[in-house]
Chain A
Amino acid sequence: MTQSNNRKLTIARAMAESVAQEMRTDDRVFVMGEDIGELGGVYGNTRGLLEEFGKERIRDTPISETAFIGAAVGAAQDGMRPVVELMFVDFFGVCFDAIYNLMAKNIYFSGGSLKVPMVLMTSTGGGYSDGGQHSQCLYGTFAHLPGMKVVAPSNAYDAKGLMTAAIRDDSPVVFMYHKRLQGMGWLGTEPGATVKTPEESYTVEIGKAAIARKGSDVTIVSLGLGVHHALKAAEKLSEEGVEAEVVDLRSLVPLDRDTIRESVARTGRLIVVDEDYHSFGVSGEIIASVTEHDISVLKAAPRRVAFPDVPIPFERGMEQFCLPNADKIIAAYREIEAG
């Protein structure tokens, strides 16, 4: 057990471990989704669960998202604690009613007399040429609509703790995991997401951001894969004496505005990095959270590095042209410097 604290896990394994630990102690927890049983999830995040818990509690579903996500809501309201998977967030199109009009609203409609303890886990992100229906993030879309908590971890430690917190939460939680952080070599993976992860069960509080790197000259706010771009940009900026602070949001709903404001108040400069579309989304919300609170803390106009408002192109060069990266973050800092 002394080994435990030195053990590194991928996000995929951290998610599966969290679910398994909760399933061992709570009979109400079960898993539904496409290819989550025998296959262990296309992104590996349910691997080993079928073998341990069997078909009754690890349920491969038909390709019927409206039915099984709606069913998760019904089961959650009836005393179960389902963990349900939407294979790619892009597929929300076929089943969003079950998510935002049902899962997200029934607690409110019942005046708080109902609980909807369920987790909707879903994969996000591009960068591996999967085209415009398999590469989106849609963070802003989910976070915009009231009634569901939304988390998006950047590393395995947070993924495990957030998943455990999500399963134990009596409100619906959307758990958005980035495909390029899963530790699946077959679509390319960011090594920085595979970190030391305790074996014992623990939670990471939903609604609390983390300072991924301390700095005093500029605040870079991001989530998921963007945190790793931000950390890389920060390292490069550091070589020229600029110390960037990196805020890892971890949760979008609730949004930890205090941590963002406190950081920007110290640095006076703000860059938001978001792989989701530029307009009407997370990046605008972060900037508004700062400016509407106290615009005087800013020494320069805030900048955002986000995906342009176009569908995600297939071809590598075009997709990379659109995606955030460390160089674009550094360029945004240069613009801030230039005033």
Chain B
Amino acid sequence: MQPSLEQKLWMYETMVLSRRCEEQIAKIYMEGKTPVFNMANGTIPGEMHLSDGQEPVAVGVCAHLDAEDIVTATHRPHHQAIAKGVDLDRMMAEIFGKATGLSGGRGGHMHLFDPAVNFACSGIIGQGLGPAVGAALSRKMQGKPGVAVAFIGEGATNQGAFHEALNLAAVWNVPFVCVVEDNAWGISVSKAASTSVPRNDVRAASYGIPGHYVEGNDPYRIHEVAGEAIARARAGKGPSLIEVETFRLAGHFMGDAEGYRPEGEKDALFEIDPIPRMRQRLLDDGDASDEQLSNIEKKAEERIEQAIRFARESDEPRPEDALTAVFAQA
């Protein structure tokens, strides 16, 4: 089933929002890092993993989720966070390390937590699977609605936590969906070199759950397959595993020279950038006019500018605040 027109426009808008976010972060990240690139310096220090190219996965899945549903995400979390509705101003402020950030600057870009929309992410590969299964279990035990989705990269499917969590979710029949973003690379190590099967959907058979592989980084197909898996989970029929073929247009992190990629691979990917492709499709299908889409794009740009303004204008945390929030507040 195709997404509704409203869903399509939301997906496009959210993809553009995510991309503008990454483009702006990429630019600001370099402030203070030239002529000598040193991660420790600049407006945004530390590692930076951008999600350019992988937006279709986030929007295709999150189109089916409400605030009450749970998402655990990865070290590359911005597209997933935006699609889940994380507070954009506070997310940006967190990335900048400001006091107004989601965690007041304690976490940084790999540790975005927004309990209002049940979003969390982590810098340890495969770490989000357990908590997603646990949140799904909690909803089941409490008799409350909601499904939990764990986003992971294809590299994480070789981590013990992946296999343990899928088995656990299956054996307890909890409302859980594992979504694998297959961008073919775990830093410099290719999927082919690290994974015993070409596609991870077949691994679902080991846990007696449905497995799907979605080709082509296609937001509509992702939307359809994710919709079925999420509906199934909501209906109490148990977990599913979905692997989505996608690609990253950014390096593994900012500063990655990507020498491990075969010659020409990267250029070919820009040719199939999902955002212009979706735009064209919306036009071709008569779903939106050029003017409508331009408006969406303009709005997205303004929204990101606003978030950046908020982040820039916010105060830094007090250094001694490092010592607070270790334990739960009374």
Contact = CB atoms under 8 A, between A and B. Distances in A.
Interface of A: 34-35, 37-39, 42, 60-67, 90-91, 93-94, 127-134, 185-188, 308-311, 313-322
B160 interface: yes
Given A63-B156, A94-B124, A130-B46, A314 B105 contact: yes
Contacts of B38: 128, 185-188
Nearest to B47: A130
B97 A62 contact: no
Contact of B160 (A60, A94, A128): A94
A308 B322 contact: yes
Interface residues of B, number: 49
30 contacts: A34-B189, A37-B188, A39-B260, A60-B194, A61-B194, A62-B189, A63-B156, A63-B159, A64-B160, A128-B39, A128-B40, A128-B46, A131-B46, A132-B111, A187-B39, A188-B39, A188-B40, A188-B41, A313-B105, A313-B322, A314-B106, A314-B108, A315-B108, A315-B316, A316-B45, A317-B316, A318-B317, A320-B319, A321-B319, A321-B322
A266 B319 CA distance: 37
A62 B124 CA distance: 14
A60 B322 contact: no
Contacts of B122: 133
Given A64-B160, A127-B40, A185-B38, A134 B322 contact: no
A318 B46 contact: no
A186 B255 contact: yes
A305 to B, nearest CB: 16
Interface string B105-136: 11111110000000000111111000000000
Main secondary structure of the interface of A (DSSP, over half): loop
A187 B47 CA distance: 9
B322 A62 contact: no
B97 A314 contact: yes
Interface string B302-321: 00000000000000111111
Nearest to B161: A94
A169 to B, nearest CB: 29
Nearest to A68: B158
Nearest to B41: A188
Contacts of A130: 39, 46-47, 108
A23 B195 CA distance: 27
A250 B46 CA distance: 28
Nearest to B187: A35
A157 to B, nearest CB: 25
Contacts of A322: 322
Interface in B19-66: 36-41, 45-47
A159 B39 CA distance: 24
Nearest to A187: B39
A218 B40 CA distance: 32
B236 interface: no
A102 B234 CA distance: 42
A35 B319 CA distance: 35
B1 interface: no
A234 to B, nearest CB: 24
Contacts of A63: 125-126, 155-156, 158-159, 186, 194
Nearest to A322: B322
A5 B259 CA distance: 33
Contacts of B108: 129-131, 314-315
